[in-house]
Structure 1
Amino acid sequence: MATLFLMVFVTELVSWIGQSVLLEFFYALYLRIFYGSTVARQRQLKSDILLNKKELLQTSAQDQFAKWAKLRRSVDKGLADLEKLNNELSSARTAFSLKFKTALWVMTTGLQFVIGWWYRKAAVFYLPPGWLGPLTWWLAFPFAPAGSVSCGMWQMACRRVIKVGERVAKELVVPSGGSTAGQVPTEQERKEKEEAGKTE
């Protein structure tokens, strides 16, 4: 019972925070751990290229051709190396993004599906006899014993309670009619605004 509630809560928390926010946070950690030297080299290359470009602009191609040519070659080589590093980091980001989204789905939605299917015939808990009358069979849907609450129905109830709790918490933090200026909208709110804009 508590495990199912916790799983639903984590899934809703991920939805509330936003997958993209979590992805950026964990990707920054991933870069720091596995690509720290690459990122440091990229930063150093950018700094060197900017310095060389500045010096190149201040050097006359006619009066100081040897120095100008050397700086030009240095800038070109730096840009080529920077492009390689950018491509490497871009590939790493794409691979990480795919693995992260897959892992997140498996740990939240996928795990709920598996547990719901595995325990589809098990009762989460039993209701007192005749408590809800003829509606009792609906809470046992699809395969749980009569008079009980099934995993699927318990997950639905938990999700509903969490969503109501979230709405109440938002109303307490931002009273109706109060200004929400300066607050960052959640990913779900942004999606709702975009959909509302499309319908208009």
Structure 2
Amino acid sequence: MSLALTIFLLVFVGQLISWIGQTVLQNIAYSMYQSIFNASTVKRQKALQNEILTTKKELLQTSAQDEFAKWAKLRRKVDKGLADLEKLNSELSSAQTSFSLTFKSVIWILTSGAQLAVGWWYRSQAVFYLPPGWLGPATRLFSLPFAPAGSVSCWAWQMACKRVINIGERIAKDFVVQVQGSAPVSAEKAGS
């Protein structure tokens, strides 16, 4: 795969993640992670929640004055269930925090870190050469910081790719808005 295409794909993946949203991707990935690795804990949590709700309902239906022994037993059961539920919630929260940190690190490595690594590794190589005299003295700017004169450096190519992708995003959004705006008016809107 050519260097130009590799850099373009790295920039595109980074922009795609930014469009979708890192939080959205993290929530999707965490729900998959949880269903695979924490399924038993989540089942216990749901079962405990149901048990607590059932016991609380029974507790509310029991008179504290008339049936004190039964009421006290139910109250202790609810309190113990709430303590256990709090412990499970703490475990799941800790797992989510750990997952969040790992996920953010992996995303950064796959996007920004990979772009930095490729830019650093190929810092003195030309992505491609511009035709001689095409842009006059401005040609040197495209080869900064270390690429040969008359070429386009990795850094300049990354910036150009990012700019083109952002322009493409704006054009796509404007097109969608325009298509939605020119959609036929429904009977409800026409009658108003």
* 1:28 partnered with 2:31: yes
Displacement of 1:166 in angstroms is 0.1
Relative contact order (C-alpha < 8 Å, sep 6+): which is higher? 1
Displacement of 1:65 in angstroms is 2.2
Q: For 1:124-164, what per-residue CA distance to the aligned partner results, in whole angstroms no more than 9, with x for missing partners?
A: 11112222221111111111011111100000010000000
TM (norm. structure 1) is 0.86
Aligned residues: 179
Match of 1:143 among 143, 146, 149: 146
Q: What residue is the counterpart of 2:167 in the other structure? A: 164
* 1:83 partnered with 2:86: yes
Using the TM superposition, name which of 97-106 and 57-66 deviates more: 57-66
Displacement of 1:45 in angstroms is 0.7
Identity %: 66
Displacement of 1:63 in angstroms is 2.1
TM (norm. structure 2) is 0.89
Q: What residue is the counterpart of 2:112 in the other structure? A: 109
Distance in 1, matches of 2:181 and 2:23, equals: 28
Letter in 1 for 2:29: F
Letter in 2 for 1:94: T
Distance in 1, matches of 2:136 and 2:14, equals: 32
Hey, which bits of structure 1, 4+ residues long, moved more than 3 A? Answer: 176-179
Structure 1, unmatched stretches of 5+, are 180-200
Match of 2:10 among 1, 7, 10: 7
In our comparison, the structure showing a higher alpha carbon Rg is 2
Structure 2, unmatched stretches of 5+, are 183-192
Displacement of 1:177 in angstroms is 10
Q: For 1:23-63, what per-residue CA distance to the aligned partner results, in whole angstroms no more than 9, with x for missing partners?
A: 11111111111111101111111111011000001011222
